[in-house]
Structure 1
């Protein structure tokens, strides 16, 4: 395929700043054909020392400019004026000072879309904080949530950079929605998101109405996500969520007699923590009696067993499904052949072209675009001008359960799409958990159509909806859509313009395509769980493990493998749908596409997902879960804990001045990066001594005032921060909505803000609430609807 068929072909993208969020967003656009120019200072992007720089910047060009010099400022202003998209991770005010903000550029180009990614939003008391992942998650309470991994005694390092990854995707959502809207209106706009808004995607429980916040400090195992060790020291992550699946686990472990014990008769759903721990002990003892190879041979015979070995990110490269559809080979002139992440979304008709290697510094000498300026064709003009929502008029059909795919559709609903959730008569399974409270997040802003999809009349209803829909998203395993008559080949005949997304776990092809999976299996495969567990955990094979130690390690690994793989997959699904929607708006072409939980979570850990000969070792959090090293870790202050983030040389210089330790800049132990790495223990000891003499709030205030990344880390959790910090509500990151079950309550606002969008979000409803209304729109009479209700084809509150 030539580049001219690529989805983003012809787009001009200017990337400002060294933040990873904009680099990832720019990488996705470059992968799909955009011309991306990365602006770098004369010394180069400080991330050039990172192995993953070669992947984050593939397909881009590098332009060097010294923005302290007026001539360079002028030529970059001219370049930005010709861009379609400007991506920036600069602090609020920096772009304005250089004339590179939306208000300044709009005069040069009314079609420009300027996207800003900050730490805490454009205003408020934390707007000036350096937008490092560690600073944001510490201040916002996420590190306190991991206190459970330290016995509740202190905050713990948050190892998986979910805020940065999700912010990259939210930026893409805003940019792609703005591009779609621009095709209709001809206008550009301002797009804003932040790392703290990105964190809202991952908060599934502590934000809920009427639910007290919890830090999981007690040993209450969640049995469906059992973690155990084989006799040869291999730790396995299970995901046996339903009664049928858990029974399959007991059957394969030859422990079905568990159900004869009154304590366990309702397993995996138990209410007594003592009984939960007792059943975990039985499972641990039995799993520890056979080798990994022996158990694998048994489990592979049962399609109801969802299990994966817990792997590091390096070991993930050897997983057969990862090799099949997560990695590609790119030959780099500096390091030779590399294995790195494949493009985020697989498109049937417009696959991404083979990526080019990352550029050398200054690979582009002139501040000029190579592709011609874009314009909105007259044929693209739409009768609706300036709708209040950027996705106004877009109809999405969701046939999906649990979190990943449904929340992907929720993100489109928050941008104004009409989303119809097509679910079973009693509602999808997630509605049954905790009386429906957690599912509130995944059903907000949607309409619900409750039907029995196994009946011919229900399939006819879906076909009628598909004929007029823009997008359909599902997460059925391969083969199920065909049996239900909702496969792409069938629906394409009804609607050639349909965008059809399969939000997969493993993918539609490959050795694991038909395996069941939930978030813990993705966390196990892609290395996120072991990254959070810290170095030395679990202990190596051959370590003697008694029952008490087995239980302690199992709980530690369970806590480490948190729910983040689901939202990480969701934001990628939304990116895929919006890429396809933008493409269809330009070409009229619908198509099938696919995202997977595995690929999405590999992107979440992208710093580790490039491999080549002599690649430097991957960094892993220390056993105490303080961080990645002296300049990126937690420190105890006199009255609490702070997180220090000084990853770049200029950060260390600012830190030395702020602490009145300028002599460190000439100290042979610390004067350059290599010296600091060799003497890291000494540097950490020196910093710990200084921090222990000062209060946490004082350290945060003084260091951030001087541009150093530092935040108090022992407050939270995240939901509490969002609801109690006034600037979050003032910026619209927390809003009030009305839900059918919970009345008026708070929820998180839009995760991305657009200047030509009202940003209105809605609450949730019950299963089948809109069944009658939707059927009436399809032309069914009241009598016909009543008959469908009597026959058990549809259900609603008034049927």
Structure 2
């Protein structure tokens, strides 16, 4: 049985009728087909005998829900023939084979186009098909190490060196990029009649999640000495050096509950200090310049006072405080599992319990996208391995019939898949707006509506436009005061010319501003309208501001990356854990803002594709909290007998001896060889340095786990003998997962010559930064094109947009003089 709300049964299924064949064996591939199945597609999962490796993941019942299961041995002719039979009538094929393996099986663009001209293939890899590292193992930890993410998050621990990153950020980025590509290619197929290969990878997917440090790093390196860099929040002794620590205070209550405060606006900070009884302290000259205090001693003293004031109350007392003082709020640091009890999650029915045969009740997140009726479709349990083997022949016959009745493949010039699509965007900062930025790379025109003073993200970095440069890429800026009648009239005149609208405001703010769904659809009934708030448009948290650190805490991302949220023993431990949790949830390279942004792109494309099929999705909604919880499905799915989720060790080296950071002679390497079948290759590769195969302590998987400390000691001695690049070259040549752990922040590493030459970043020309490097488009196509534009300045396109609406020069000048528009 299911706890799905009755009203969701019978809701529109936007992908009904699509047939998807999923032969993937990794998390991002499973996430792609899970989304497609959730939206109504028929997903036929092709598993090897014994089952997919996805079933080893704790979240498998949710990741595989709603699919069919066919077992095929693709190493045999019969298995490959059956796969070809299924693909003959499929709309989408998902796989995660390494590029060389895919090519060996004939899964190239040319061959697939010849055999299945209408098929859209999503190919998801660790490193991409045209990278010099294309044949490296695709473990997420390897990507985190090589891109610098482990260096960006080094303050997870106070020991020197990079730190293990645990949460599945890169898998989410790659899966969402693949979904964007699939939906865009299906839209393009409506015009051309042709399918194509869509590619995404963990590297670009991870790069999409960072917010604004890319251009911070660019400025620091382009103008050395012009700014004093501060890329870590705490100094080498663990004392705060970034003043945002006070606004984003992480503290524990008297009874040990960790809370993430977010008092970022001046008004909120003043209320926060008053609530703590510290506002009067600022009259003392000692604290002159607060929050930018000049010495480490003063910064730590103030920090200590705040921590002690929070600890003076219990969690229940703080809850009463939040009810009484609406200018003070905090999120609890929840585990991924506890996140599903969040009041807003419960209110929105974003947690369901399904009866999984052979397992029992399974608590899991609902669909990524919701509508007015709740989840976008009713959830169904995961299949047993080979549950549909008896229907293989019928499925192949159905595929042949579908192919026979399909429209003949057409011909098209290779344009961009979203050419001709216009998006009108109402949002600030990053979580919503970057979701449309990725669509500009696919050809969409995006009009970013911002205030006369500009989106606040533009001024987040102490260099003009550096904060907003990434989120403004490829967009047109319309600076207009929509709170004025004339400004609102301008927006309303734009609405008939656009296809998609996204609004990212809290609660019912869009309706109050006159840009709500009902109002705009009254002007243009063909609109696709997406709500993308932090928490929701209604509900107990709908009116609250949503900041990435708060959502990271609420969704369990911080607890996962930060090594847990146990009650601290004393003030010293409070300070140590606060620093770790800050690195887990507030470091820009990977957090909830980026996770939510990619979900916005997914929601818009789903709505557009459904609309093209005659399906309207009223109340279409993604939220920051819901998206973050969806990204954690692999660890927040709960049921009796669930496999234990491994945690990082106390010093943030890794999970165990075979998935871990090790010091090399000149830096660090990350080793990833956790599966039983990878042990033999590792033993052979390290044979010149250690006889692992002869050591009885390591003779089996179980013994290696039991003697993990001993294995770490042996491997640490081995890796210390050579340089990091030497190890990377030697071990990857023997198909062992091992890379250098780059000691540069991700945002700079990915625009370095090495990553630029590998294709992960590309050249763009900005009105502020001139020629520079930006992240390459995160989705690539075998036939369609993409583009990679730079950011825009405030109001850069206001005049042109107004002229297109019929405003003449005099009218525009008058509007500008009265501050209705900014030009």
TM-score (norm 1): 0.93
Q: Residue 751 of structure 1 corresponds to which residue in structure 2?
A: 778
Q: Residue 339 of structure 1 corresponds to which residue in structure 2?
A: 363
694-703 vs 84-93, which deviates more? 694-703
Match of 1:515, SS state, is: coil
Q: Residue 193 of structure 1 corresponds to which residue in structure 2?
A: 200
What are the superposed Cα offsets for residues 424-464 of structure 1, whole Å, 9 maximum, x if unpaired?
A: 11101111222331211111111111111111111111111
Q: Cα distance 1:65–1:653, how it changes in 2: closer, same or farther (>3 A)?
A: farther
Measured in 2, the distance between the counterparts of 1:257 and 1:122 equals 60
Q: CA deviation at 1:279?
A: 3.4
Whether 2:445 is the aligned partner of 1:421: answer no
Q: Residue 378 of structure 2 corresponds to which residue in structure 1?
A: 354
Q: Which of 561, 565, 568 is matched with 2:585 structurally?
A: 561
Q: CA deviation at 1:152?
A: 6.0
Whether 2:251 is the aligned partner of 1:228: answer yes
After TM superposition, the structure 1 = structure 2 runs for residues 100-115 of structure 1, keeping only pairs within 5 Å, are 100-115=107-122
Q: Cα distance 1:432–1:677, how it changes in 2: closer, same or farther (>3 A)?
A: same
What are the superposed Cα offsets for residues 578-611 of structure 1, whole Å, 9 maximum, x if unpaired?
A: 1111111221646331111112111222221111
Q: CA deviation at 1:233?
A: 2.2
Q: Which of 397, 411, 414 is matched with 2:424 structurally?
A: 397
Q: Cα distance 1:230–1:375, how it changes in 2: closer, same or farther (>3 A)?
A: farther
Q: Residue 80 of structure 1 corresponds to which residue in structure 2?
A: 87
Q: Residue 474 of structure 2 corresponds to which residue in structure 1?
A: 445
Q: CA deviation at 1:345?
A: 0.8
Q: Cα distance 1:616–1:732, how it changes in 2: closer, same or farther (>3 A)?
A: closer
What are the superposed Cα offsets for residues 545-597 of structure 1, whole Å, 9 maximum, x if unpaired?
A: 2xx55444333322221241100000011111111111112216463311111
What are the superposed Cα offsets for residues 82-101 of structure 1, whole Å, 9 maximum, x if unpaired?
A: 22111121111212211233
- 2:371/2:617 contact within 8 Å kept: no
Measured in 1, the distance between the counterparts of 2:575 and 2:75 equals 58
Q: CA deviation at 1:308?
A: 0.8
Whether 2:719 is the aligned partner of 1:696: answer no
After TM superposition, the structure 1 = structure 2 runs for residues 617-636 of structure 1, keeping only pairs within 5 Å, are 617-636=644-663
Q: CA deviation at 1:125?
A: 2.5
Q: CA deviation at 1:490?
A: 1.1
Q: Which of 118, 139, 146 is matched with 2:146 structurally?
A: 139
Q: CA RMSD in A?
A: 2.7
Whether 2:132 is the aligned partner of 1:125: answer yes
Match of 2:260, SS state, is: strand
After TM superposition, the structure 1 = structure 2 runs for residues 505-654 of structure 1, keeping only pairs within 5 Å, are 505-535=534-564, 539-540=566-567, 543-545=569-571, 549-562=573-586, 563=588, 564-587=591-614, 589=616, 591-654=618-681
Q: CA deviation at 1:246?
A: 1.3
Measured in 2, the distance between the counterparts of 1:258 and 1:604 equals 42
- 1:306/1:517 contact within 8 Å kept: no
41-50 vs 668-677, which deviates more? 668-677
After TM superposition, the structure 1 = structure 2 runs for residues 5-20 of structure 1, keeping only pairs within 5 Å, are 5-20=12-27
TM-score (norm 2): 0.90
Q: CA deviation at 1:675?
A: 4.1
Match of 1:139, SS state, is: helix
- 1:243/1:267 contact within 8 Å kept: no
Q: Residue 251 of structure 1 corresponds to which residue in structure 2?
A: 274
Whether 2:521 is the aligned partner of 1:492: answer yes
Measured in 1, the distance between the counterparts of 2:419 and 2:784 equals 10
Measured in 2, the distance between the counterparts of 1:331 and 1:509 equals 29
Q: Residue 678 of structure 1 corresponds to which residue in structure 2?
A: 706
What are the superposed Cα offsets for residues 174-216 of structure 1, whole Å, 9 maximum, x if unpaired?
A: 1111111111221112211111111211233442132347641
Q: Cα distance 1:3–1:194, how it changes in 2: closer, same or farther (>3 A)?
A: farther
Measured in 1, the distance between the counterparts of 2:596 and 2:385 equals 33
Measured in 1, the distance between the counterparts of 2:297 and 2:315 equals 28
After TM superposition, the structure 1 = structure 2 runs for residues 310-349 of structure 1, keeping only pairs within 5 Å, are 310-325=333-348, 326-348=350-372
Q: Cα distance 1:111–1:202, how it changes in 2: closer, same or farther (>3 A)?
A: same
Measured in 2, the distance between the counterparts of 1:641 and 1:356 equals 45
Measured in 1, the distance between the counterparts of 2:404 and 2:373 equals 23
281-290 vs 684-693, which deviates more? 684-693
Match of 2:320, SS state, is: helix
Measured in 2, the distance between the counterparts of 1:69 and 1:615 equals 33
Q: CA deviation at 1:617?
A: 3.1
Measured in 2, the distance between the counterparts of 1:718 and 1:553 equals 23
Q: Residue 210 of structure 1 corresponds to which residue in structure 2?
A: 219
Q: CA deviation at 1:404?
A: 0.2
Whether 2:319 is the aligned partner of 1:296: answer yes
Q: Cα distance 1:660–1:42, how it changes in 2: closer, same or farther (>3 A)?
A: farther
484-493 vs 607-616, which deviates more? 607-616
Whether 2:735 is the aligned partner of 1:711: answer no
Match of 1:746, SS state, is: strand
- 1:165/1:603 contact within 8 Å kept: no
Q: Residue 4 of structure 2 corresponds to which residue in structure 1?
A: none
Q: CA deviation at 1:420?
A: 0.5
- 1:258/1:265 contact within 8 Å kept: no
Q: Which of 483, 504, 510 is matched with 1:475 structurally?
A: 504
Match of 1:37, SS state, is: strand
Q: Cα distance 1:13–1:263, how it changes in 2: closer, same or farther (>3 A)?
A: farther
Q: CA deviation at 1:422?
A: 0.6
Q: Cα distance 1:25–1:375, how it changes in 2: closer, same or farther (>3 A)?
A: farther
Q: Cα distance 1:594–1:682, how it changes in 2: closer, same or farther (>3 A)?
A: same
Whether 2:493 is the aligned partner of 1:464: answer yes
Whether 2:142 is the aligned partner of 1:153: answer no
Measured in 2, the distance between the counterparts of 1:454 and 1:8 equals 38
- 1:305/1:516 contact within 8 Å kept: no
What are the superposed Cα offsets for residues 668-693 of structure 1, whole Å, 9 maximum, x if unpaired?
A: 75455444433333333333343334
Whether 2:75 is the aligned partner of 1:68: answer yes
Match of 1:561, SS state, is: helix
Measured in 2, the distance between the counterparts of 1:352 and 1:62 equals 23
747-756 vs 569-578, which deviates more? 747-756
* Unaligned runs of at least 5 residues, structure 1: none
402-411 vs 6-15, which deviates more? 6-15
477-486 vs 258-267, which deviates more? 258-267
- 1:303/1:515 contact within 8 Å kept: no
Measured in 2, the distance between the counterparts of 1:508 and 1:236 equals 24
Q: Cα distance 1:227–1:374, how it changes in 2: closer, same or farther (>3 A)?
A: farther
Q: CA deviation at 1:20?
A: 0.7
After TM superposition, the structure 1 = structure 2 runs for residues 271-310 of structure 1, keeping only pairs within 5 Å, are 276-310=299-333
Match of 1:338, SS state, is: strand
Q: Residue 805 of structure 2 corresponds to which residue in structure 1?
A: 778
Q: CA deviation at 1:642?
A: 1.5
758-767 vs 155-164, which deviates more? 758-767
- 2:43/2:68 contact within 8 Å kept: yes
754-763 vs 102-111, which deviates more? 754-763
- 2:610/2:616 contact within 8 Å kept: yes
Q: CA deviation at 1:2?
A: 7.1
Q: Cα distance 1:2–1:188, how it changes in 2: closer, same or farther (>3 A)?
A: farther
What are the superposed Cα offsets for residues 755-789 of structure 1, whole Å, 9 maximum, x if unpaired?
A: 33332221112111111111111122222222222
